[in-house]
């Protein structure tokens, strides 16, 4: 099975090298790596081009945001399975993708494999500050704004072809909307793997403070309404105490 990994970037020179190397260092051999850059004005592309011999497709052009860039990558992808590796994230070890492909092989009818991730401070990549478990996910929890860890979820190309693109009018919740369409509208099959496979630096689009949180909350409610799934603002706002307890449990060394 071919695995297409897509990294989208914009002025990501600070961290993109570790994202690239975490993909290129994987033991699984049949990987198609795609980088879609939004016309960065820093030295991001200088770093990317250092690895050009091992990257199948490189694009650097203006886009309509992160989800437009993801759509471009998916359109280029020829793999059976697609994963999104953010430019400031990285895989936890070199056998992550090998394990993901083996899970698909053991579950040939599934459309999606989801696993866990943790959050770290950029200044300390070895200490978890919050643990996010996709293993505790069920589709009904989408009504409360709880979704699988997007960077730790791998989806068949055929599922994207069936459901369609990420919606570019969303600033931060088009991945949530994609899960709504795949899991609650089309009811695609999924398998959960209770393993931590991705490490995410705090401070990105989805973790950048209360303003981002409220924007995401508004967009989640919009997606639920558009897809005729009942929820309300109070239900979705329960995500905030859940995040607090996820952080607290890490501090108490409880998983």
* CATH number for the domain harbouring residue 231: 3.90.550.10
**Residues β-bridged to residue 84:** 6
Structure tokens at 101: 């492909």
Q: Give pLDDT tens digits for 95-107.
A: 999 999 999 999 9
Please report the pLDDT score of residue 242 as a whole number.
59
When the pLDDT of each residue in the chain is averaged and rounded to a whole number, the result is 92
**Which has the closest alpha carbon to 133: 121, 143, 118?**
118
Please report the pLDDT score of residue 16 as a whole number.
98
Structural domain total, the chain: 1
Q: Give pLDDT tens digits for 106-132.
A: 999 999 999 999 999 999 998 888 888
8-23 average pLDDT score: 97
Residue 243 confidence class, pLDDT cut points 50, 70, 90: low
Containing structural domain, residue 178: 3-251
The model's pTM is 0.90
**Residues β-bridged to residue 195:** none
Residue 183 confidence class, pLDDT cut points 50, 70, 90: very high
| Complete DSSP assignment for 34-68 | EEEE---SSSHHHHHHHTGGG-SEEEE---SSHHH
- Distance from C-alpha of 108 to C-alpha of 120, rounded to nearest angstrom: 33
Structure tokens at 180: 């709504």
* Residue 245: partners with Cβ closer than 8 Å, 6 or more residues away: none
Structure tokens at 98: 């090998």
**Sign of CA pseudo-dihedral 202, 237, 149, 134:** positive
Please report the pLDDT score of residue 204 as a whole number.
55
Residue 203 confidence class, pLDDT cut points 50, 70, 90: confident
- Greater model confidence, 234 or 247: 234
């Amino acid at each position: 099975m071919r695995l297409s990994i897509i990294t989208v970037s914009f002025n990501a020179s600070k961290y993109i090298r570790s994202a690239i190397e975490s993909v290129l260092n994987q033991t699984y051999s049949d990987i198609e790596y795609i980088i879609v850059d939004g016309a960065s004005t820093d030295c991001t592309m200088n770093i990317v081009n250092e690895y050009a011999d091992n990257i199948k497709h490189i694009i650097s052009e203006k886009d309509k945001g992160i989800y437009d860039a993801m759509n471009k990558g998916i359109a280029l992808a020829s793999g059976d399975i697609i994963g999104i590796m953010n430019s400031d994230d990285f895989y936890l070890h070199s056998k992550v993708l090998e394990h993901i492909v083996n899970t698909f092989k053991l579950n040939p009818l599934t459309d999606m494999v989801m696993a866990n991730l943790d959050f770290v401070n950029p200044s300390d990549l070895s200490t978890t500050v919050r643990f996010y478990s996709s293993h505790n996910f069920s589709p009904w929890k989408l009504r409360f704004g709880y979704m699988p860890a997007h960077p730790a979820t791998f989806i068949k190309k055929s599922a994207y072809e069936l459901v369609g693109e990420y919606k570019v009018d969303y600033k931060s919740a088009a991945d949530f909307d994609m899960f709504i369409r795949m899991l609650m509208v089309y009811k695609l099959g999924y398998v959960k793997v209770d393993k931590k496979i991705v490490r995410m630096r705090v401070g990105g689009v989805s973790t950048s403070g209360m303003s981002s949180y409220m924007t995401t909350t508004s967009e989640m409610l919009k997606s639920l309404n558009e897809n005729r799934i009942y929820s309300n603002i109070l239900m979705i706002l329960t995500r905030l105490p859940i995040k607090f307890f996820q952080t607290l449990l890490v501090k108490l060394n409880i998983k």
